[in-house]
Amino acid sequence: MGINEIVRYDKTEQKGHPDGFFIVKNLAVIYDATLDTKFEETKNQQMENYVNMLKKNHIDYHRDNLHLRYDISRRTKQV
């Protein structure tokens, strides 16, 4: 599929965070895996938060002593 790196957030610190994100070619995607068929109603605020994350043009990832910043300023963005 061409996904070079997929980053998953730590489940213990996940509340309010996406499940993860990935970058493929010119596309940066923040995702939340849900089985709720009414996700547009139940996840509306969460999706708005993810859109705002993408507007910053970078995604920060923290885990243990690791801090990574992914530049997404020149990429197409999708939630």
Tens digits of residue pLDDT in 26-68: 999 998 888 888 888 888 888 999 999 999 999 988 777 888 8
Q: Write down the pTM of the prediction.
A: 0.75
CA distance to 43, 49, 78, per residue, from 18 (Å): 11, 9, 12
Residue, of 17 and 56, whose pLDDT is higher: 56
Q: What is the pLDDT of residue 3?
A: 66
Give the C-alpha separation, 79 to 67, whole Å.
22
- Does residue 14 carry a pLDDT above 70? no
Q: What is the pLDDT of residue 11?
A: 61
Give the C-alpha separation, 7 to 72, whole Å.
14
